[in-house]
Each structure stands twice: as structure tokens, then as C-alpha cells.
Copies of this chain bind each other. A is one copy, B any other.
Amino acid sequence: MSGTMNTFTMLDIGKTSIIEKPIPTPGANEALVKTTASLICTSDVHTVKGALPVENGRTLGHESVGVIAALGSAVTGFTEGQRVAVNAVTPCFECSYCQRGFTSQCGGMLGGYKYTAQVDGNMAEYFLVPAARANLAPIPDDLADEAAVYACDMLSTGIMGAEHAQISIGDTVVVFAQGAVGLCATIGAKLLGAGRIIAVESIPERIELSKRYGADDIVDFTKGDPVEQIMDLTGGIGADGAIEALGFPQTFEAALACLKAGGTLSNIGYHGENPAPLQLDLPAFGLGMGDKTIRTGLCPGGSDRMRRLFTLMSTGKVDPTPMTTHRFAFADVERAFEMMSNKEDHIVKPLITY
């Protein structure tokens, strides 16, 4: 494989363009994938706004699927032409953090998040996959690319949000914000046996998706304090679990406050845009003794998790495709990115095809 390819690249803060780059050559443990579909993530928007410092000239994107174009010399068990998905997080699976199960903290804090943050991302006609034996996830024949691509980040992250909420069968769980990752947290809460799911959202299109994915009650924060509304809905008792899927100080604080003693706050929102520390209100925190737990995490990587997410889609238990509100050819990716940045036309997720 040689020649050049088009990539969707960040030139500077606030500035992106389709740029030609050489097609990379895989190292011994790497693979090269020819991209067939991508999703644009709000994280990319954060990055281009400057919230995450990256070198100029870095290709964007971390939610892509495709077919294997070339395999490194030490990569066994795969064949060229095979359809594969690659998680947004691509751990080495060998370091101390990975061995302990913290694959998204590969090598250190947030280190598993390599695309865009550390190396070129995968909104490009081709992309490299490190630790390919662990990170290439074959897509089942019965699963379309446009569904499989949701496993790369949205489903993996959102469902992790529910996993971290330590839900017991029949529990009451609140999900703050119903963007794509919040909707996937709702999917996850239902998948893990929540009895009652309360979604906090105000945009009608997202409320509709939220109900479709399992929300039993909607709290519209534009119509009154969400914590009070949640307390009213739960007879003054509060929730067993709360998932923060927005990344705002107010929602984080509300997520803590709406929990009963013994409850768990699972944070999946990215709090990098606002430099001020998050606050733990002491009464809400039980003065540090209320048996409340706060868990955090970043999209878990690896092919085994992808495989299991694919099973949930193949057997019809999860269908993420209604979240795809818009579709674009790769040539129009700049327009898609602009819509995502401005949250135009009630966009949830734009699908890019190649």
C-alpha cells in the first residue's frame, strides 16, 4: 500500500480542512484499515475549540470502521479485506494499567485515547491500528457498518456509564443529558436491569429517542430545578444511581444531590472545557460518610468488548441507528463538522461514508 489519502485534519484552533497525507505503513504489530464509515464525536469539537491541546496538522476522528488493507508482520489471526471496527481507545494491553483492566488509562492517565490526542485520528481514507491483535474487532456479516460504528465509542462509553452506576435489578437511575452518549447510557441502564430510568433533557427530538431507548420519566431542566423534580418523582427519597453524560459542573452537582445515601454517581461527561474544580456539596455528600460512590471512566477499548456489543446488535437487543440523524459523504465532512459544532438542525450523530 502506498500513495496518498485524504484526511480530515485540524490545521489550527478553530480551523479544519481535508488534507492529503501519505498512506501510512503498518509496523510489526499494527494494521492498516481502509475506512468505510465514521461518526463525528463532540470530543472532536472540543479538540478543535482548543480544549484538548494537540499538534496542528493532526487528523481528527476516533469512531471509524473499515476493511483491513494491510497487516504488520507480527499480526496473526486476521486477513486483508476483513471488515473490522476499531475502538476509540486503542490500548497496548501490555502495560501495568492495561494488565489491571484500566485499558483507557494505558500507560497513564487517559493514555489509551491515542487517535487525535497522540497520533493521527481515523477520519481519513486509511488509518493505522496499534496492537492490532487486540484492537481489531471483526464485524459480523449480519451487522451493517452504520450500526457497528456505534460500538467504537458511543455504546462502549454510554454502557460503561451504566456499568459504573452499580445498578441492582429494579433500581432507579437518572441519566443527565440525552445526547448520543447519554442515550447510550440510557440503553445501558435498561440493559443492566434498572427498574426506572429518569432522563434529564429538554430537546424534543432527544426526549423522543430517550423514551424509545427506555426512559420511563423525563425531567425537563428548563421547567424547574432537576433535583427537586427527581425528588418529587421518587417520593423524596432520591435515586440509586446517576449518570452524568454532559460534562457541566451543574449537572455533576445535581447528579450527586439526586442520589439517596448509598447511591453511585457515574461520570462519563468530559469536564475539560471548564478549568474550575468540581464541587462536592457536603450535605449531598453525606459529609463524606453517606456511602455514596463516585466513579469515572473513559471509553473501554479492546476487541472483546466490541464483539459483545456487536452481539447485542446482531440479536436485536440494541439498535443505535436511530441516533444517526444526518448522513454525509466524506467529501462533505467539513459541513458535517460545522453542523455538529453548532448543534444545527437538532443533530445527534452525523454518519460519514467513504
Contact = CB atoms under 8 A, between A and B. Distances in A.
Interface of A: 27-29, 73-74, 92-102, 104-105, 108-111, 131, 133-134, 159, 163, 168-172, 188, 190-193, 195-196, 216, 244, 247, 252, 260-262, 267-272, 274-282, 285-298, 302-305, 307-312, 314-315, 317
A207 B234 CA distance: 38
A268 B290 CA distance: 10
A105 B291 contact: yes
A100 B262 contact: yes
Nearest to A311: B195
27 contacts: A28-B28, A28-B73, A29-B74, A93-B94, A93-B98, A95-B133, A97-B260, A99-B303, A104-B289, A105-B291, A111-B261, A169-B188, A169-B191, A169-B308, A172-B311, A192-B193, A195-B308, A195-B315, A195-B317, A196-B315, A267-B289, A268-B289, A271-B288, A276-B282, A278-B279, A285-B296, A286-B296
A290 B105 contact: yes
A280 B282 contact: no
A308 B168 CA distance: 9
A254 to B, nearest CB: 14
Contacts of A295: 293-294
Nearest to A159: B169
Most B CB within 10 A of own CB, among A104, A267, A291, A317: A291
Contacts of A131: 94
A282 B276 CA distance: 7
A298 B291 contact: yes
Given A99-B93, A110-B290, A285 B271 contact: yes
Contacts of A282: 271-272, 274-278
A282 B195 CA distance: 33
A92 to B, nearest CB: 7
What 7 A-B pairs have minimum CB-CB distances, sorted nearest first? A170-B308, A195-B311, A105-B261, A102-B262, A94-B134, A99-B304, A277-B279
B294 A293 contact: yes
Contacts of A92: 133
B96 A307 contact: yes
Nearest to A111: B261
Given A134-B93, A262-B102, A285-B278, A171 B308 contact: yes
A287 B272 contact: yes
A98 B291 CA distance: 12
Nearest to A216: B315
A278 B304 CA distance: 32
Most B CB within 10 A of own CB, among A94, A216, A292, A307: A94
Given A101-B101, A170-B309, 10 more contacts: A96-B307, A97-B261, A109-B290, A110-B287, A169-B191, A195-B314, A271-B287, A275-B282, A279-B279, A293-B294
A195 B102 CA distance: 20
Nearest to A104: B291
Contact of A261 (B28, B109, B294): B109
Contacts of A314: 195
